[in-house]
Structure 1
Amino acid sequence: MMPRKLEVCVDTIDGAIAAQAGGADRMELCAALSEGGLTPSTGLMVAAAGLGVPSYAMIRPRCGLFVYSEAEIQVMLDDIAAVKEADLAGVVLGAQNPDGTLDTRVLGRLLAAAEGLGATLHRVIDIVPDPLAALEQAIALGFERVLTSGGAAAAVEGTEMIRAMVQQAAGRITIMPGSGLTEDNISDFVAQTGVVEVHASCAVTASEGERFSNFSPHGGRKETCKNRVKQMKRELGA
């Protein structure tokens, strides 16, 4: 059986250190996970590169959907250059047309700039009109993997679509589910879908008190938990 891998999304250097200590196989580096993940700072990229865990940087210049202006695309190209300069392992990308389909032209430009890096197509695939058609486009573009919740709010709710994506991919690309996966549900989920990589935050709510709570996201700031990473690894049999 192929070893199962755990990717942990982090948006701070302390989170990256916790993911490393917990045994994460790969990290997705972001800023503002409370916004779904934006491009991390250059400083975080450089710091994470020294931890010895393969790290992929999210390339997303703002929150919201994934139709980008030419000015935003140029920012993304410059951010990809920063990823290369920091010597990270890869990038996480996504772009769509106004009709919701994948923007293969923009994605082609971004992937060309990222030549030599690994590449993950992010959850833009969860909001396209036809995820299975988009999967074929991702394969043709040369992505290594697709991060998906199966078009649902949480991966466990998208189990049927994720299973269909795994079957259609047939080893040509990795299907990596994410959103709502925890140490409590991951064993059954993997058995139902046949996935070999999973994506999770492994986070807990930081204890910061209520003073100046307007500086934290609604519900409190989240931080990566080393012990939850370890538990996820155990449940994966990794």
Structure 2
Amino acid sequence: MPENILLEVCVDSPEGLAAAISGGADRIELCSALEIGGLTPSPGLMALAAGAQVPVYAMIRSRPGDFVYGEGDMAALLGDIDAVRAAGLAGVVLGANHVDGRLHRDVLGRLADHAKGLGRTLHRAFDLSGPDFAPAIDLAVELGFERILTSGGQATVLGGIDALAACFAHAGDRIVIMPGSGVNLETLGAIKARLPLREIHSSCSTAANPAGRALELGFVSPQPRRTDAGIVKAMKASLV
């Protein structure tokens, strides 16, 4: 196991971005709407993140729901990639599936090709491609992705730990497998004990109090969370 494991923190606000950086995150996954798995961040948030001293990868997901994309979706996704490049961010986070869950080679290849020159992470669309993840890993390598963000096809990393171990074995040194989902200070020890981690992904967040009237009118998630610099710092210390 490497001496230092890279910590990627997902954020969806200026406050979250600042907390992740001050806590010592090695890389940022920049999103909007983390409560639904993350969407493409706004141009304003991307511009703000461009000043970060750590690499920032932007989620490319123009709408909630699945990752089965038609031509209208593709126009939006390609435009989002252009916006990331124009903002000067380091990379993008991509994914696309067939209806049956398999990664969509043509769509994913088109997105990855459009993002050439940017770093590329394959997001948890990968988790829909199981239970045999080997073909999806091979495709990600073929298309030039740097890493795969995955929970092993389950809701959390601990739930998918056996599948993740198989993914690490199949990937070898060809591509980074980056576990994410349900990664926190309570679960990190068990994950580290089982997997030869090089990178790991976490929200490093804590529950926040919903704001009264805004919650009542449906403007706020019933269970909001916020990035916590102290948790980021503690996670980093646990990864050394």
2:230 aligns to what? Answer: 227
Q: Partner of 2:35 in structure 1?
A: 34
Give the Cα–Cα distance (whole angstroms) in 2 for the partners of residues 153 and 100 of structure 1.
16
Pairwise CA RMSD? 1.2
Q: Residue 162 of structure 2 corresponds to which residue in structure 1?
A: 160
Aligned-partner Cα distance in 2 for 1:127–1:112: 22
| 1:177-215, Cα deviation, whole Å (9 max, x unpaired) | 000011122122112011211000011122344333132
Displacement of 1:113 in angstroms is 1.1
Gaps of 5+ in 1: none
TM-score with structure 1 length normalisation?
A: 0.96
SS state of the match for residue 218, structure 1? coil
- Aligned residue number for residue 43 of structure 1: 44
Contact 1:187 1:236 in 2 (8 A): no
Q: CA deviation at 1:69?
A: 1.1
- Aligned to 2:206, the other structure's residue is in SS state strand
Which one-letter code corresponds to 2:162 in the other structure? E
Mapped to 2, the partners of 1:55 and 1:212 lie a distance apart of 30
CA contact (8 A) 2:31 2:58 kept: yes
Between 1:207-216 and 1:170-179, the stretch displaced more is 207-216
- Where structure 2 has 5 or more consecutive residues not aligned to the other structure, the ranges are none
Partners of 1:120 and 1:209 lie apart in 2 by 34
Q: Secondary structure at the match of 1:120?
A: strand
**Structure 1 residue 111 displacement after superposition:** 1.1
State the distance in 1 between where 2:103 and 2:96 align: 6
Secondary structure, in 3 states, of the residue corresponding to 1:189? helix
Q: Percent of counterpart pairs with the same letter?
A: 49
**Number of matched pairs:** 236
Contact 1:4–1:197 (CA under 8 A) maintained in structure 2: yes
Matched, 1:99 2:100: yes
- The corresponding residue for 1:185 is 187
Change (3 A) 1:70 1:160: same
Q: State the alpha-carbon separation in 2 of the partners of residues 86 and 14 from structure 1.
A: 19
* Structure 1 residue 70: Cα displacement: 0.3
4+ runs of 1 displaced by more than 4 Å?
A: none
Q: 2:135 maps to what in 1?
A: 133
Structure 1 residues 204-213 or 160-169, which shifts more? 204-213
**SS of the residue aligned with 1:138?**
helix
Q: Which residue of 2 aligns with 1:204?
A: 206
Shift of the 195–94 alpha-carbon distance from structure 1 to 2, 3 Å rule, reads same
Aligned-partner SS, 2:221: coil
Q: How far off its partner does 1:218 sit?
A: 2.4
In the other structure, the counterpart of 2:148 is 146
Q: CA-to-partner distance for each residue in 1:59-79, whole Å, 9 max, x for gaps?
A: 001111111110110111111
Give me the whole-angstrom Cα distance separating, in 1, the residues matched to 2:140 and 2:98.
Answer: 15
Secondary structure of the residue aligned to 1:187 is helix
Deviations 1:145-168 (A, max 9, x none): 000000111001111111111111
